[in-house]
Amino acid sequence: MFGCGSVTDSLRGYPLSAFLICLIAYTTAQMDLALFGYAVPAIRAEFELSLSEVMAVVSTAFLMGGALLVVLGWLTDRLGRLPLFQFSLLGSSVLVALISVAPGVMTLTALRGASIAVGGLSYPITGAIITEETPARLRGFMMGLLQIGYPLGWALASLWSMWLLTEYGWRQLFWVGLVSLPMVWVVRRYLREPPRAIAARSNEAPASLSELWAKGIRERALTLFCAQFLFVWAYAASIFLFPSFLREVRALDAFDFSLLIGAGNAIGVAGYVLAAWIGERVWTRRNTVVLWTLLGSLLFQVLVWLPESFSQILIVYALMSMFFYGSAAVKFAYLAEVFPTRIRALAMTCCGSLAVTLGSAAGPYSVSLAIEAWGWHIGYAALVGVPLALAGLLYLTLDAVPSGLEVEEIEHRVGKGAMLHG
């Protein structure tokens, strides 16, 4: 077991700096993503859209973003982590800000799709950098801690929403995207291209999408893609529809639901940290993903059906976010470890970011149709809770990765089939 002192000693110097920069960048990317979720009720009102129509905008935008993300992930392995990282930060800031002047639904959808693709690139890049720069004994834990950028991003977005959305309207809210611009200079000034990534590009032919279909890799890639797709189907439907659920079913106004979601995510950070620690030091990451996901599915059912007062909803939502959303702390660490360095960013893009965008495209729209047909309680609970549970169970078909191994050793063991099965 490691304490604070040993963690600090192992991360002293550049690894710690790289982690903090990646965490800040990932947090701002998640904040940009979250802004749209808070704005959904106001966008519906201005453009006179039904619940399924506004979710169709969300879905179309994610489909557009997913197609572009594959290309960007491929370029990341060919051109380097840092050039694409700077492009992601700069491009997403500008594109999110431009949403504020969208004259109609089509322009809004196009800008949203482009911002999802460019901003979504931050996940595979930051994950690859942390995986390749962090000491082996702490790699899984630090990858898990990186994922607290999600709840922190949503919490920050809630603060902006509580002020701008209630006082000025949804358009002014998207100017917040420009706060990410200084990170372009920070990345350029203080980060380096990971030596492992440089060596992989120098010693071998450029990465190809066909490598994900190679024997021994394609089964793992397909399983992880399906698991991630189902997880994000549930995840996206839960986050993008929750403000409307709180407004229509629990009668909360914009200030109250922004406060509740932000506070719930801030409290939920504890679940991310605990999952990262357990996955690294107590249990395997695979088994931790399964447990956290199943508990998250159960708590989501409770959230939809039972609590009615603000305090009750806040408590259950915070607990749910600890496990449902907190499972990401080990899920993405596992994904980053089990693919070779030369195709890591591409694999994380296809099995991670692409699955995220496609799940985000399919989930909110499909669930909104179910809600319109069956009502909030049945439609929301069934089409979020069940896919989430299935996503967790899929991990039982994958190998368990022992913690504390260098990425080269994991790559060798995966190639030889010498992983744990229990």
Give the confidence band of 12 by pLDDT, cuts at 50, 70, 90: low
Residue 21 lies in a domain: yes
Residue 421 lies in a domain: no
- Per-residue pLDDT, averaged over 1-9, amounts to 44
Which CATH number does the domain housing residue 398 bear? Answer: 1.20.1250.20
Residue 319 lies in a domain: yes
- Per-residue pLDDT, averaged over 50-71, amounts to 81
Count how many domains the chain has.
1
Percent of the chain with pLDDT over 70: 85
For residue 206, pLDDT beyond 60: no
Residue 335 lies in a domain: yes
- Per-residue pLDDT, averaged over 227-239, amounts to 91
Percent of the chain with pLDDT over 90: 27
Domain residue limits at 61: 10-416
**pTM summary value:** 0.75
Q: In this predicted model, what pLDDT tens digit does every residue of 302-358 receive, in sequence order? A: 999 988 899 999 999 999 999 998 888 888 778 777 777 667 767 777 777 778 778
Residue 389 lies in a domain: yes
* Mean pLDDT computed over every residue of the chain: 82
Q: In this predicted model, what pLDDT tens digit does every residue of 140-197 receive, in sequence order? A: 778 778 888 888 888 888 888 888 887 888 999 999 989 889 999 999 999 888 776 6
Residue 1 lies in a domain: no
Q: Extract the tokens encoding 384.
A: 């979020």
Residue 123 lies in a domain: yes
Give the confidence band of 389 by pLDDT, cuts at 50, 70, 90: very high
Residue 4 lies in a domain: no
What would the 3-class secondary structure string for the chain be? Answer: CCCHHHHHHHHCCHHHHHHHHHHHHHHHHHHHHHHHHHHHHHHHHHHCCCHHHHHHHHHHHHHHHHHHHHHHHHHHHHHCHHHHHHHHHHHHHHHHHHHHHCCCHHHHHHHHHHHHHHHHCHHHHHHHHHHHHCCHHHHHHHHHHHCCHHHHHHHHHHHHHHHHHHHCCHHHHHHHHHHHCHHHHHHHHHCCCCHHHHHHHHHCCCCCHHHHHCCCCHHHHHHHHHHHHHHHHHHHHHHHHHHHHHHHCCCCCHHHHHHHHHHHHHHHHHHHHHHHHHHHHHCCHHHHHHHHHHHHHHHHHHHHHCCCCHHHHHHHHHHHHHHCHHHHHHHHHHHHHCCCHHHHHHHHHHHHHHHHHHHHHHHHHHHHHHHHHHCHHHHHHHHHHHHHHHHHHHHHHCCECCCCCCHHHHHHHHHHCCCECC
For residue 204, pLDDT beyond 80: no
